[in-house]
Amino acid sequence: DSPEKLAAFQARIDAGEQIEPKDWMPEGYRKTLIRQIGQHAHSEIVGQLPEGNWITRAPTLERKANLLAKVQDEAGHGLYLYCAAETLGVTRDELTRMLLDGRMKYSSIFNYPTLTWADMGAVGWLVDGAAIMNQVPLQRTSYGPYARAMVRICKEESFHQRQGFHIMMAMAGGSSDQRRMAQDALNRFWFPALMMFGPSDKDSVHSAQSMAWKIKMNTNDELRQKFVDETVPQAEYLGLTIPDPDLAWNEEEGHYSFTEPDWSEFFEVIAGNGPCNVDRITARRTAWDDGAWVRDALMAHAEKSAARKMA
């Protein structure tokens, strides 16, 4: 990559132009996008597991239908994102192999268990809420296929966030047992949700370069702060307490001050040692192995059809 080529590429980014698959791009830009879009795609797919866990036990037919549709949406998001990654010259099979052998990550949040129905409310409200906070700015990211995938994904995520909040409203406004379950779900998901934005800026190895390339539009801490500022009034509306005794409105800064998550726990979870990491990867590996015959059959069919056309 000559300095002239790099400078011309950066000038396109700085001018707000979008980069398309066939355009020249620095190898580092391509690799960073494959890492980020791939991690995002894996998160959508692995992210079906904690909620899939409750489809059979949803309390009403309507809740069941909503949750089923939400989990299907996540599968769709995974597919758009794998397609966006494929435009960068990596195959979906290769991305899956990298996930299964630990070379690629997925979001830390999906390594926490979903223990009660109230967790379906907390996941929709907080996890999809955090996802939206991160993804709305990515609609303006510099890589065209990623930015365009984000537009539809964000529309669906905001619907998901509302279905989660609606569950929380029912639970928080219900019997004392239901209120207790809602509070317990908030207690368990609050700090893991804050971790979704990544390590604090001083420990974020990729932020500076990713922001210069407009692969990321904000720092991890900026988005985390924005999430806290928007979520605290929602918790108040629900009559629930955020499990942080130091949470307070800071008039001078115009933001809430809050306790940082336990970063040693975060680094353990992304190293594979969270409560559900082994279960999640085992489920993905089983699905991959069980689906081998379908992939083989499709390939054999495609080869036969191609041979028939040639004849």
State the residues that interact with ligand FAQ by CB under 6 A.
Answer: 35-36, 39-40, 43-44, 47, 74, 105, 107-108, 127-128, 131, 134, 195-199, 204-207, 210, 216, 220, 270
Q: CA 82 to CA 97: how far, in whole Å?
A: 13
Residue number with CB closer to ligand FAQ (18 or 200): 200
Strands (E), 5-65: none
In the complex, what is the shortest distance from the CB of residue 134 to ligand FAQ, in angstroms, rounded to a whole number? 5
In the complex, what is the shortest distance from the CB of residue 15 to ligand FAQ, in angstroms, rounded to a whole number? 23
196 in helix, strand or coil? coil
In the complex, what is the shortest distance from the CB of residue 105 to ligand FAQ, in angstroms, rounded to a whole number? 4
In the complex, what is the shortest distance from the CB of residue 43 to ligand FAQ, in angstroms, rounded to a whole number? 3
Residue number with CB closer to ligand FAQ (79 or 180): 79
Beta strand 248-250 with 255-257 is antiparallel
**Secondary structure (DSSP) of 213-248:** TTSSSS-HHHHHHHHHHHHHHHHHHHT---S-TT-E
Closest residue to ligand FAQ, Cβ-based? Answer: 47
Residue number with CB closer to ligand FAQ (148 or 180): 148
Q: What would you report as the CA-atom Rg of the chain, rounded to the nearest whole angstrom?
A: 21
Residue number with CB closer to ligand FAQ (24 or 263): 263
Residue number with CB closer to ligand FAQ (134 or 183): 134
Positive or negative torsion for Cα 256, 262, 263, 266: negative
In the complex, what is the shortest distance from the CB of residue 106 to ligand FAQ, in angstroms, rounded to a whole number? 7
Residue number with CB closer to ligand FAQ (173 or 275): 275
- Give Cβ neighbours of residue 58 (< 8 Å, ≥ 6 apart): 64, 67, 117, 120
CB 125 within 8 A of CB 165: yes
In the complex, what is the shortest distance from the CB of residue 292 to ligand FAQ, in angstroms, rounded to a whole number? 25
Q: How big is the CA angle at 193 (ends 158 and 235), to the nearest 5 degrees?
A: 70
**Secondary structure (DSSP) of 98-152:** HHHTTSS---GGGGS---STHHHHHIIIIIHHHHHHHHTGGGG-SBHHHHHHHHH
In the complex, what is the shortest distance from the CB of residue 131 to ligand FAQ, in angstroms, rounded to a whole number? 4
Residue number with CB closer to ligand FAQ (179 or 229): 229
- Largest pairwise CA distance in the chain: 77
